[in-house]
Amino acid sequence: MSIEKNWEELGDDIYCIDTGFLRPKMTACYLIREGDAAAILDTGTNFTAPTVYALLNVLGLTRDNVKYVIPTHVHLDHAGGVGQLMADCANAQLVIHPKGAPHMIDPSRIVAGATAVYGEERFANDYGTLLPVDEERVIAAQDGDTFDLNGRTLTFYDTPGHANHHGCILDSKSRAIVTGDTFGLSYRELKTDKGDYIFAPSTPVAFDPDAWHQSIDKLMALNPSAMLLTHYSRVTDLESLAQQLHRNIDAISEIAISEEGEEAGRHERIKGELGDLTAQQIIDHGVDMSKEQILEFLSSDLELNAQGLEVWLKRRAKARG
């Protein structure tokens, strides 16, 4: 697929860009355009940049027209391309959660952590080289801060739960919210005539179910027209999906809590129970896939979610002393 075809216009001058990370339609980057100004929300990896620039060109804009780069949080499928975009877009400011800002100014800790997990070769293939961002170009956004895009207002909301450095952005024109991972994952392949299937990514290291419930309610109270998910694209049946997501957070928390105090082999048991729960829900949702196919399709998600729940249990144990 040529990069010129690798996006979808969602209306109101909002474009969903398929970053191509790991597989098609897994990870999105959003471009919002108002007149001669653009904002990039979630960036994908370094390898997303050429697609962003191709879209700017189609829209009659250049890199100099990018006013803001706004990752929802610093997980690399959302923020790995920040440094490259900021290096190429000379007029852009980086808007980011205060807890995420240091990691974009000096990404060495992120690089070290991800390299330890994936190895140097896979890290280079998946993410490229992470570039630091000049501190003077970084805005540490507080809850409720607003940013002007040619009269169009982008409002930042602090939304912990998936990560403690997570923020979501409400667009005043469309009333849609770019949600990162706060409003869950809803892959297009799992949509049926029953609607979208949604679930919570409990990836390491800051899963917090209580905070997450509050963040979902906070977003819903804004009465949005749609949620723009990084994984993947726009969803609109928001009341139903919010309830699904609340239930899913409770269900995976219960799976983890049932394993407290039983550390030997715990990771594999949690992963197995997550797989059983998710596969059955997807089959009941009417997706034409076998359990084995579902487990293969979601293998990376299930592994990361199990890791995150394991970290959460260790944090709970430490808090109890």
For residue 85, what are its two tokens? Answer: 């975009």
pLDDT for 4 equals 52
The 10s digit of each residue's pLDDT in 156-186 is 999 999 999 999 999 999 999 999 999 999 9
pLDDT for 1 equals 37
Phi, psi of 185 (to 5 degrees): -110, 135
The CA distance from 225 to 56, in Å, is 25
The CA distance from 254 to 259, in Å, is 9
Alpha-carbon distances, residue 205 vs 180, 208, 227, 311 (angstroms): 16, 9, 24, 6
The 10s digit of each residue's pLDDT in 50-88 is 999 999 999 999 999 999 999 999 999 999 999 999 999
> What's the whole-number mean pLDDT along residues 131-148?
98
Upper half-sphere CA count for residue 145 (Cβ side, 13 Å): 15
Question: Are the CB atoms for 70 and 146 separated by under 8 Å?
Answer: no
CA 7 to centroid of chain Cα atoms = 17
Closest CA to 63 of 85, 44, 82: 85
pTM of the model: 0.95
Q: Which residues of 283-305 are buried (b: 16+ CB within 10 A; e: fewer)?
A: eebebeeeeeebbebbeebbebb
